[in-house]
Structure 1
Amino acid sequence: MVRLRSLEKGRWRGQGAKWHSLHPTLALLCALALQQTVAFNVNLDDAQVLQPPSQTGIHFGFSLAHFVNGTERRLLVGAPLANTSKDVSQPGALYACDLGSSPSCTQLEVDWRNTDDKYKSWISEDKKEHQGLGFSVVCAPRWHAYESVTGGLKDLASGICFSARAPNFDKFTAFSPAYDVIGMNTKFASYDNNGTCQVGLSVSYSQETETVSFGSPGCWSWQGDVWNIHKDTLTDKDTFHRAQKIDFKDVDLTSSPDGRYSSLADLYLGYSVASITYASKPAVVSAMPRAVSTHDLKVVEKNKVFGPVILIFEEDQSKLNVLDTIKPPLNESNNFEATKDSMFSYFGYSLTTADVNGDGLDDLVVGAPLYHNDSHHDQGAVFVYMQKRFDYGGDGVVGAEMKLEPNSPLRMGHDSYGRFGSCVASVGDLGGDGYQDIAVGAPFLESGGKVFIYLGSRDGLGKTPSQVIDAMDMPSSVRPLDGFGFAIAQKMPDATGNGFDLGIGVFNSDKVLVFKTKEVIAVEWNVTFSGKMNLTSSTCIMAGDTSAGKYPCVDMKTCFLYRVLNTKTKTKQTLEFTIKLEADIKQQKKRLLFNNGRAETNLIFNQEKDQMSCQEEKVYAKRDIEELIQPFVIQAEVDMKGASQSVILDEQATRVLEEELPILVQCEGGVADKCESDLELTYTSNTTYALKKMESIPVTFRLTNRGEVAYNTRLVINSNGDLISKEQADSAGGVVCETKHKPPKIECKIDAIFKKGEKEFEVVMMPHQNFFGSLERHLAFFTVEAEAETTSVQKNPDAAKTKFQIPIIVKGNLDLTKENSNPSHVSYNSSYDKSPAEASNEQELGEQVIHKYKIYNSNPIRSTHQVDDFWPLKIDGLYLLYLLDNPTITGIKASCHYENGEVDKYNISKRIPDPTEETTFSRDLLRWR
């Protein structure tokens, strides 16, 4: 659909009636065999600039349409303010612009009286060369006819159109459907029927039915109307099909005798039109973009707002019947009622149809350039309705409905008054991917305007533009531009006929910019490996580094091919592609290397299209890696290098691949975390620890595996934080131990892949520094719990655990001194002194002997000591020194034990001390008689 506007008045007189021609705003139709290109591939560096040959300020670029005749291409451009007649002010003009290597524009004489053949030199006489319909249509919707009636002249704002057919594209025939149906009934013509129709404000063509649809928003008190006429009977009013007055019930309103208007006045049906296949039938879609109150309508539903709304029509004899209605998004209560966002949005100002999701059904794209919300004014929006088809009851009757995308609108302008959606254009299946693409204009931005390109896909129209063409980005020689994107040529074939160009009208700068498009390169490529990485088999020497020894490795193959989606030339072209490979992207510590000894490398492919080529190289696993289960992930990214401006990489192409290189699992199940190991842990330790000494505590462990491979095997030693590993040293068995602090423990890496067998190793420990801060309360031993852990399944978990104790000893530095005996000499008289069995008191035993001892410990650490005292108790079975009391001790808590019997067996002493009582060391230690 191409829709046009007129702005100012002008006059043009003819015979019979008085013709008042107001700017022949252009609507041109040339149906062509359309090919493909890609929207994101629009080349902005070399645009053709079309301008009128002499005049300025004529709105050149207000409307666009193309046609192709053989090998020659023309773009038809409307200029509604052009001065082309001495008799009429600004009647408008139609220009044909050659799109060859030297573009130029020539005015076409659109005059029903014109029979000149001055343009036949560039129109082919061979009808077989015509690509498409072979005719064009241009309309002047503000054309007036003044008819004589009783009392004066009647002004009929009917609108007029002109058509030209091949091969005489410069010979136009005038026709005015609204004026023709009035016929001789001029006196009855008024704004309430056909008197102000303004036919041709919008025009569309259906290739399926070969009919032209015209919008006329002024009919029926500006309810508006839609006309559908076969291209061969444009002047035969008996073949016209039209909507006429819309029945209230067709738009979900209920008729009532009360009210002023019996039609949907002031809604402007026909403001835009488009052709569509709906429910498997050819149909016409047209918008009523305005909203009105139902207060003055003859309907039951009073005091509501009706509109905007879009109607779908089908032909029925001489009439167009309403087949379906499409309404803007519902309000929060899920009722159709105009909201502040949609009421004045001019929903349906622009329309286009395209199969954007490739399901074979026409979808509808609706522009609402005055859409606004709380944060912006007139930023504009575009709504997409997807056609869904269904069967009625299995009898072969097909139904359809238009489903609005969820959460609409998904595509909005971002700047106030930019009026995004002023133009929506179907630009064809641009990339050859089976999906139609859409261009949207926002011509009133401060930058001068933008055009947004949206790609079709299986999921529908893209939510974000694949390319934004900004007037500000154009070369300085072309700027300033104002109104960029007000008109966009639909499905405009390029010079090869195998792709499309993009034509954009800049009406306020009297320019049209035509952009060429690039060939789109689709790539097919993959990265494969010869097998799994066997980390236990080091057989490969890295290229260029023979001194590094051997590594585990596999062969990697990278294959690449490119195709051209929209081939424009048969010339073969060699293109250069770079594939960047990055190894082990999921790991912070890279475990994989390429031939260059690094974790990154580049592969260069120089080749022609449709030619598969492959490159091979080895990838190497580092030795002693920690992660042995998770596969290596290699990321590959393709880029096209040194390409000319004529090609571009497909936006939908797979540019990044991630391929997994699995690690060979050394067990039956083939899954590392399901390998069933059978670990048994034992230890040997004959060590004691001398307190306060900086001595190591070696413990020998033996770990035996009687089952399948144990992955990531380690020994974890817990000692309540008392012991740490001695530095981070390798033990004799190749086991590395280190201290972890949260929580405090010792971890020893035994083997990444511990196969069936046994490993003996020594762990050297020493007390943690914190241990020495509590020596007054230290235990008599360290308690050690050790456990072998693995990521594999443990068949007998308890066998992999052990618990033992390491004694703690204190080496004291003692000094023992003895005072002289008191008395130093003793005389024994057997006749006088009695034996203990005979004596009744101490004096009868003989002279008392007291020994005193002093013990000094120079070690500040408290420790337990034992002092053994020996004395001559008996001689020949007779008592020599009889022990009367337990020794008394001062300075420490201690006790004594007499191993040979009872103290004072015969109870001679009057006082027997408590053996646990604390005494002073200055008292008697030992007392005999």
Structure 2
Amino acid sequence: MALPHSFGTNMRWSAVQPLRTVFHLLALIFISINAFNVDTKNALVHSHSNGHFGYSIDFYNEQKGMPVLIVGAPEAHSTNPNLIGIRRPGAVFACSVNKKACREVFIDKKQGNEHRLNGSVLAPIEDKADQYFGATVRSNKKRDRIVMCAPKYKYFFSKFEVIEPVGTCFFAENGFQKTEEFASCRQEPARHGRHRFGYGQCGFSAAVPDKFKKDDERIFIGAPGVWYWQGAIFSQNVRNVTDRPNTEYGGKEYDHDMMGYATATGDLDGDGIDDIVAGVPRGNDLIGKIVLYTSHLKMMVNLTDTISPQQGEYCGSSLAVSDVNNDGRDDIIVGCPFFTDYATVKDAKTQERKPQYDVGKVIVFFQTAPGVFDKSMAVIGQDQWGRFGWSVAATGDLNKDGFNDFIVGAPYAGENKDGAVYVIHGSKEGVRDKPTQKIEASKVAPGTKTFGFSVAAGVDVDGNGLPDIAVGSWKSNRASVLLTKPIVQVNGQTDADSVTINVEDKNCDVDPKMGKQSCRTINTCLKYDGVGDTPNELEFVLHYDLDNQSPEPRAYFLHKDIKADRNIVISPGAKTKDHPNSIQRRVRLEKGRQKCFQQRFFASSTMRDKLSPIHWTVNYTFEESKTGRIRDKLEPAIDTTLPLSFQNKISIANNCGKDDVCVPDLKVTAVTDREKFLLGTQDNTMQINVTVENGGEDSYETKLYFDVPEGFEYSGIEGVGDKTTTTAPSCSPTSDKPDENGKWTFACELGNPLPANTVLSNIVKITANEKKPPVKPIEINAHVNSSNKETEGTTQDNYFSYTVPVDFKNQLNLNGRSNPEQLDFSTKNKTNEEVFYDNEIGPVVSHLYEVLNIFRN
């Protein structure tokens, strides 16, 4: 129902806390990237016992230059003496912006319900019970005029036979000494009934312009129940109660569109006069739309969601107007709180899109020329059921970047669905597509519910030059004022004392064990400036993260350097404590003055990856106190729209030419010491002479891969080399078991780098397995590669394949023996004719013969 507005901060700085010399690492509270400059630690939270206090809120200058927060409580039991005895008429409260103090403002000057003669009986012609006074409170941008409404106020029309919720509003300016009632739907002769103004609920929304013609000062009153809830806008002249034109009936196809659910004002056609934008959340086939009118209700244009239109998203239920891209023309901010996001979230397993219901969204329509709104952008909510866009308010320039910002309420978002408010920054391109800050109820006042149901902004309540905000939470009967912190804008850069590092140039002492290593120095320069009342000195923490793009850091900070400086500690995320790649360093800066800091680092001489540069990042934060204050002043906030870190890199020295890109040209060939492998000989070892050539530039992490076929075992490698080297490379199997064909693959380190124009020859020895020798032709496969890419089309000679046939030489051994070995035989024995039995010839002699084939064929 009610719509909202803006926020700010103020502080002066004198002394600065001394530089701490001890790091209490666990006690550091660092500013979150998701936070910016709306302070949540020192919120001023107003509360009331009941009555939906916080249902609507807005800032108003009760006295010149002295803002108060006006809070509506539409179900409150009023203490207004004029309303004694009336059940829950509702109330509005004026609350201090710097201390916990609220008082009810007595707006209604009439005694009770007005009575008139009904025949001879004096009877009430109105009913203020449950009228929901305070459901709408809305001031202008100058904060010197305000409207407060009771949309459920009831009136008895002709002959006292009909009582209908026409609604009513009260207008005040320059304080509350004089108020004027405007019940635009309460018109005589009777215009009652659902088909006219009877259920209009005038004051469901309202808007107060700043720019108007002389003698034509108006307010705009939304009445969504007019004409069978088609809705209407009344342009009420505040100097002439009967000058109240309204938008016309539109035909039955517009029934229940509810125009006037929300309203806002701004110069929408460039004529210097504020116009009116009306929200129609059920229009355009339930997608919602907004309609723009001049101050005298001449229709200008209809606008609707063209980005991702969706029935039921309720676009137009909240509105604000502000120039967010600083082009000199007002833009329109539209809430669509029931939007369901079907695109963002995926199921982790199925990768199917998961609908996120009622996340809500906000659309900004940009005025690209006077009266032309042909560009729009959307910001999508983050929490399912959060209803992002339920309320919106123009804040002014929160971070002083030259672009106006706005806030968005999502009363059911955040932790435990207690509500949240989001800060959206304007920009030259329009608006940022992600919130700069998310303010959750639990961070402001634990236990608060519906935080963000109403919002207000655009007023600097503490005088620090920055607008502040307020948030209503009707379910908890609370209204909170949140100050905007001054801003620290940090600029800087980081580089090294050289663009390269030569890991073979070991010029820096490490320790007695490691001797000397190659080192370089990181130079980081920072300067901060302030927006608002910022301190003259600030303490920052620099977070160095070295070689952060490498799985295994190749560079490190020296432990003794860290121990020598009490302002440096090892970061918790460092890979090792002995040679950390991540440290934190506490430094002090003076506002407006650049200061540079040097930090030495070392590169490992045993690194494998010498192609990739060593990257580093320097993040900066500053320590935030638990209270958010320093010497009773709000701490500044780091401007998170500027870079929060600085990155650079240093290349590892190489022989890659001017482009610093090495392109090798590798080639592998092989020849065996025999044309065929003969099984059955004494020599069962085969030698393969593998030659690798690099005809291009240096080749890094160069490896030779070769296969040991089934039936053979790897017996070693010998380097025959050339002038470059005679050392055999180191080889090892690539797996702990052979493949399905019984084949092993070995990898050999050839050089890191393998220099340009190098030829390496190595003899690989493989030995046939005696128990299970090869029986198939021997396939000799080898290939070579490196971590740097070769020119496309030159890699075919990186592979070599050769087949050696297998032959067999059979070695037969013949062995024999007889049993008995010797036998005496006499010729005197019987002749054959005389022999009848074998044993009559002589003893039996057995001969045993063994034929042995050494290799199976």
TM-score by length of 2: 0.68
Counterpart in the other structure of 2:391: 423
Counterpart in the other structure of 1:110: 107
Counterpart in the other structure of 1:845: none
Matching residue within 279, 301, 313 for 1:287: 279
The change in CA–CA distance for 1:627 and 1:66 in structure 2 (over 3 A counts) is same
Which runs of structure 2 are paired with 1:852-867 in the superposition (5 Å)?
A: 860-861=854-855
Which runs of structure 2 are paired with 1:862-873 in the superposition (5 Å)?
A: none
Structure 1 residue 143: Cα displacement? 5.0
Distance 1:475 1:605 in 2: 32
Matched, 1:65 2:58: yes
Contact 2:281–2:288 under 8 Å retained in 1: yes
Counterpart in the other structure of 1:74: 68
The change in CA–CA distance for 1:487 and 1:754 in structure 2 (over 3 A counts) is closer
The change in CA–CA distance for 1:92 and 1:388 in structure 2 (over 3 A counts) is closer
Distance 1:855 1:744 in 2: 42
Which runs of structure 2 are paired with 1:84-483 in the superposition (5 Å)?
A: 84-88=79-83, 89=86, 90-100=88-98, 102-111=99-108, 132-143=142-153, 159-166=167-174, 169-176=175-182, 178=184, 186-187=188-189, 189-191=191-193, 198-209=201-212, 212-219=219-226, 223-228=230-235, 234-236=238-240, 240=243, 242-246=245-249, 267-280=257-270, 282-290=274-282, 308-315=288-295, 319-327=296-304, 341-342=311-312, 347-355=315-323, 362-367=330-335, 380=358, 382-389=360-367, 399-401=372-374, 403=376, 405=378, 410-411=380-381, 414-415=384-385, 421-433=389-401, 434-442=403-411, 449-456=418-425, 458=427, 469-471=439-441, 479=447, 481-483=448-450
Contact 1:441–1:450 under 8 Å retained in 2: yes
Distance 2:808 2:334 in 1: 92
Q: Deviations along 1:600-647, whole A, 9 cap, x unmatched?
A: 121414223444333334444333443333333435544444556234
Q: Deviations along 1:273-310, whole A, 9 cap, x unmatched?
A: 11134354543111234569xxxxxxxxxxxx788543
Distance 1:624 1:694 in 2: 40
Q: Deviations along 1:331-367, whole A, 9 cap, x unmatched?
A: 9xx9xxxx8x42xx65533322345566665444444
Root-mean-square deviation over aligned CA pairs:
5.4
The secondary structure found in structure 2 opposite 1:171 is coil
The secondary structure found in structure 2 opposite 1:278 is coil
Distance 2:760 2:692 in 1: 6
The change in CA–CA distance for 1:595 and 1:277 in structure 2 (over 3 A counts) is farther
Distance 2:82 2:303 in 1: 45
Structure 1 residue 97: Cα displacement? 1.5
Structure 1 residue 579: Cα displacement? 1.0
Matching residue within 554, 578, 585 for 1:604: 585
Structure 1 residue 513: Cα displacement? 2.5
Contact 1:411–1:464 under 8 Å retained in 2: no
Counterpart in the other structure of 2:540: 576
Q: Deviations along 1:10-44, whole A, 9 cap, x unmatched?
A: xxxxxxxxxxxxxxxxx899x99999999755444
Structure 1 residue 577: Cα displacement? 1.5
Contact 1:716–1:748 under 8 Å retained in 2: yes
The change in CA–CA distance for 1:399 and 1:810 in structure 2 (over 3 A counts) is same
Matching residue within 534, 550, 556 for 1:593: 556
Matched, 1:515 2:479: no
Distance 1:330 1:642 in 2: 40
Structure 1 residue 813: Cα displacement? 10
Structure 1 residue 463: Cα displacement? 6.2
Q: Deviations along 1:456-477, whole A, 9 cap, x unmatched?
A: 355766666665555566656x
Q: Which segments of 5 or more consecutive residues in structure 1 lack a partner in the other structure?
A: 5-26, 115-129, 249-260, 293-304, 392-396, 820-853, 864-929
Letter in 2 for 1:50: H
Counterpart in the other structure of 2:563: none
Distance 1:595 1:364 in 2: 56
Distance 1:805 1:378 in 2: 66
The change in CA–CA distance for 1:538 and 1:361 in structure 2 (over 3 A counts) is same
Structure 1 residue 735: Cα displacement? 2.5
Distance 2:201 2:783 in 1: 93
Distance 2:771 2:808 in 1: 14
The secondary structure found in structure 2 opposite 1:58 is coil
Structure 1 residue 773: Cα displacement? 0.8
Distance 2:305 2:371 in 1: 25
Distance 1:109 1:463 in 2: 43
Distance 1:704 1:326 in 2: 70
Q: Which segments of 5 or more consecutive residues in structure 2 lack a partner in the other structure?
A: 12-32, 112-139, 343-352, 560-577, 629-634, 721-725, 819-847
Distance 2:665 2:415 in 1: 71
Number of residue pairs the alignment of both structures matches? 715
Contact 2:610–2:700 under 8 Å retained in 1: yes
The change in CA–CA distance for 1:637 and 1:143 in structure 2 (over 3 A counts) is same
The change in CA–CA distance for 1:633 and 1:492 in structure 2 (over 3 A counts) is same
Structure 1 residue 518: Cα displacement? 3.9
Contact 1:164–1:173 under 8 Å retained in 2: yes
Contact 1:814–1:855 under 8 Å retained in 2: no
The secondary structure found in structure 1 opposite 2:184 is helix
Distance 2:689 2:417 in 1: 83
- Judge which range, 189-198 or 59-68, deviates more: 189-198
Contact 1:677–1:792 under 8 Å retained in 2: no
Higher relative contact order (CA 8 A, sep 6+): 2
Distance 2:504 2:355 in 1: 70
The change in CA–CA distance for 1:193 and 1:636 in structure 2 (over 3 A counts) is same
Counterpart in the other structure of 2:650: 661
Counterpart in the other structure of 1:844: none
The change in CA–CA distance for 1:330 and 1:505 in structure 2 (over 3 A counts) is closer
The change in CA–CA distance for 1:696 and 1:581 in structure 2 (over 3 A counts) is farther
Identity of aligned residues (%): 17
Matching residue within 543, 546, 559 for 2:525: 559
Distance 2:514 2:414 in 1: 64
Contact 1:362–1:387 under 8 Å retained in 2: no
Structure 1 residue 669: Cα displacement? 5.7
Contact 2:728–2:762 under 8 Å retained in 1: no
The change in CA–CA distance for 1:216 and 1:739 in structure 2 (over 3 A counts) is closer
The change in CA–CA distance for 1:244 and 1:530 in structure 2 (over 3 A counts) is same
Letter in 1 for 2:78: N
Counterpart in the other structure of 1:753: 753
Which runs of structure 2 are paired with 1:437-836 in the superposition (5 Å)?
A: 437-442=406-411, 449-456=418-425, 458=427, 469-471=439-441, 479=447, 481-533=448-500, 535=502, 537-541=504-508, 543-564=509-530, 567-583=531-547, 585-586=549-550, 588-596=551-559, 598=579, 600-608=581-589, 609-643=591-625, 645=628, 646-655=635-644, 659-668=648-657, 670=659, 672-675=661-664, 708-717=697-706, 720=709, 725-726=714-715, 733=727, 735-740=729-734, 744-755=744-755, 763=763, 765-767=765-767, 769=769, 772-774=771-773, 777=775
Contact 2:497–2:521 under 8 Å retained in 1: yes
The change in CA–CA distance for 1:82 and 1:38 in structure 2 (over 3 A counts) is farther
The change in CA–CA distance for 1:689 and 1:207 in structure 2 (over 3 A counts) is farther
Contact 2:341–2:359 under 8 Å retained in 1: no
Structure 1 residue 710: Cα displacement? 4.4
The secondary structure found in structure 1 opposite 2:773 is helix
